[in-house]
């Protein structure tokens, strides 16, 4: 059977790591009809948007895509294409497994945890108002009328929507995932001591959902304490269900436990569509040099193959990555540096993919 999959190479290191990923997937023999689509700053000139309608159409048709990272301008400019894709297809669950590999160069061993990040609301909703805008003035009046101290008139404002339905949906996803994958514990990550309305609602819903899963252990932890716990005793964690922004930050922290961003794959899952991508960004500092680590992209492809029902090929890819890292003579500079303190003797992105 041939699978139709949209491939968005992205920018920065995206084209290099997706081409490495594609060769690894093709080596499994699984038949994929790649529908390659460009998005990001590179298409702005031609289409007037970083996410043209024909790209969305292509994903709508295949219902499955894998992408490289796409750069988002900092502070000003267009909003994140990555976030726009998650919103457009309601890819509400971001699943990011962090698994130690032999020879990954990390200070930690035997890490095996999964972050389930809510992907559609929170401060990531992108509802913002500039300082001095009429909306800020109106909002300030509302705050004052509610008996709370109004914010300064020169404030910029971000809105943090957290809904009952979406909180329930993500926590249920985390528990269902835990059951399906034989995981023992779900930890709800929040800051409900300070954000009593938003995070408080989320925690309340999480506790309600947990009651329905007596076979899975449940606890909750404040996000700051979670970060310390992850660094000090990461083996205490199993599945972490996080609001969007905390999930973003905790994902990078957890990538650091398993050898760095080059190692951490991910999936954005919705009811109809799934888009696979690594945790990391476009890494402009190392783009175009054939030195990026494509492991995160390759392991994202293994998650894609699982999703397509090609579980044997997925497992073969994971085994090949494990074996290549364990053997250790053909690893990329980030891993080599972590292992020996210098990138000397490392191989390039494509040579590593050949070894895999």
Q: Which residues are catalytic?
A: 124, 191, 224, 248
Cβ proximity of 174 and 210 under 8 Å: no
Size of residue set near ligand NAD by CB under 6 A: 20
Contact residue for ligand NAD among 283, 314, 325, 331 (CB under 6 A):
283
Contact residue for ligand NAD among 18, 37, 82, 300 (CB under 6 A):
82
Contact residue for ligand NAD among 120, 244, 293, 330 (CB under 6 A):
293
User: Considering the rule CB under 6 A, would residue 277 count as an interface residue with ligand NAD?
Assistant: yes
199 CB-contact burial (10 Å; exposed 0-12 / middle 13-18 / buried 19+): buried
Q: Select 117 or 221, whichever has its Cβ closest to ligand NAD.
A: 117
Angle at the Cα of 223 from the Cα atoms of 215 and 230, rounded to 5 degrees: 75
Residue 290 CB contacts under 8 Å (≥ 6 apart), including other chains: 16, 348, 349, 350
Q: Which stretch binds ligand NAD (CB under 6 A): 156-164, 179-187, 205-213, 292-300?
A: 292-300
Contact residue for ligand NAD among 18, 28, 37, 72 (CB under 6 A):
72
Cβ proximity of 238 and 182 under 8 Å: no
Chain residues 30-49 in contact with ligand NAD, contact rule CB under 6 A: none
Q: Which stretch binds ligand NAD (CB under 6 A): 55-63, 151-159, 283-291, 321-329?
A: 283-291
CA atoms within 13 A on the CB side of 320: 21
Q: Which stretch binds ligand NAD (CB under 6 A): 226-234, 290-298, 305-313, 318-326?
A: 290-298
User: Considering the rule CB under 6 A, would residue 296 count as an interface residue with ligand NAD?
Assistant: yes
Contact residue for ligand NAD among 7, 8, 65, 69 (CB under 6 A):
69
As a whole number of angstroms, the longest Cα–Cα distance in the chain is 66
Please state, as a whole number, how many other Cβ atoms lie within 10 Å of the Cβ of residue 330: 18
- Least CB distance from residue 353 to ligand NAD, whole Å? 12
Q: Distance between the two ends of the chain, CA-based, in angstroms?
A: 24
CA atoms within 13 A on the CB side of 93: 24
Task: Determine the Cα–Cα distance for residues 88 and 114; give it in Å rounded to an integer.
Answer: 24
Task: Determine the Cα–Cα distance for residues 88 and 85; give it in Å rounded to an integer.
Answer: 5
Tokens of 30: 């699984």
- Least CB distance from residue 310 to ligand NAD, whole Å? 24
Q: Select 210 or 283, whichever has its Cβ closest to ligand NAD.
A: 283
- Least CB distance from residue 284 to ligand NAD, whole Å? 6
Task: Determine the Cα–Cα distance for residues 61 and 33; give it in Å rounded to an integer.
Answer: 13
User: Considering the rule CB under 6 A, would residue 101 count as an interface residue with ligand NAD?
Assistant: no
Cβ proximity of 85 and 59 under 8 Å: yes
- Least CB distance from residue 82 to ligand NAD, whole Å? 4
User: Considering the rule CB under 6 A, would residue 348 count as an interface residue with ligand NAD?
Assistant: no
Cβ proximity of 207 and 224 under 8 Å: no
- Least CB distance from residue 266 to ligand NAD, whole Å? 8
Binding site for ligand NAD (CB under 6 A): 13, 69-72, 82, 261-262, 277, 280-286, 292-293, 296, 334
């Amino acid at each position: 059977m041939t699978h139709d999959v949209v491939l968005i190479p992205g920018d920065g290191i995206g084209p290099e790591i997706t081409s490495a990923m594609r060769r690894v997937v093709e080596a499994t023999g699984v038949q994929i009809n790649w529908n390659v689509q460009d998005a990001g700053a590179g298409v702005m000139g031609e289409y007037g948007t970083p996410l043209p309608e024909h790209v969305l159409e292509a994903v709508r048709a295949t219902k499955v895509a894998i992408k490289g990272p796409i750069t988002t301008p900092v502070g000003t400019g267009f909003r994140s294409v990555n976030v726009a894709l998650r919103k457009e297809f309601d890819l509400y669950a971001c699943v990011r497994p962090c698994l130690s590999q032999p020879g990954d160069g990390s200070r930690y061993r035997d890490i095996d945890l999964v972050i389930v990040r809510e992907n559609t609301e929170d401060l990531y909703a992108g509802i913002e108002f500039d300082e001095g805008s009429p909306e800020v003035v109106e909002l300030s009046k509302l705050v004052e009328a509610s008996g709370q101290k109004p914010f300064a008139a020169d404030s910029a404002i971000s809105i943090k929507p957290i809904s009952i339905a979406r909180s329930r949906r993500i926590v249920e996803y985390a528990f269902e995932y835990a059951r399906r994958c034989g995981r023992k514990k779900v930890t709800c990550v929040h800051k409900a001591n300070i954000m009593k309305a938003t995070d408080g609602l989320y925690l309340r819903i999480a506790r309600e959902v947990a009651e329905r899963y007596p076979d899975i252990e449940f606890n909750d932890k404040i996000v700051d304490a979670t970060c310390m716990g992850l660094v000090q005793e990461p083996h205490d964690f199993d599945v972490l269900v996080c609001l969007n922004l905390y999930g973003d930050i905790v994902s990078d922290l957890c990538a650091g436990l398993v050898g760095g961003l080059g190692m951490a794959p991910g999936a954005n899952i919705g009811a109809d569509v799934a888009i696979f991508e690594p945790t990391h960004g476009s890494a402009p500092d190392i783009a175009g040099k054939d030195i990026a680590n494509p492991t995160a992209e390759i392991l994202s492809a293994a998650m894609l193959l699982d999703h397509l029902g090609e579980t044997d090929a997925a497992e073969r890819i994971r085994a090949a990555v494990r074996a290549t890292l364990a053997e250790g003579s053909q690893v990329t500079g980030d891993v080599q540096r972590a292992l020996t303190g210098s990138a000397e003797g490392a191989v390039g992105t494509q040579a590593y993919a050949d070894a895999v």
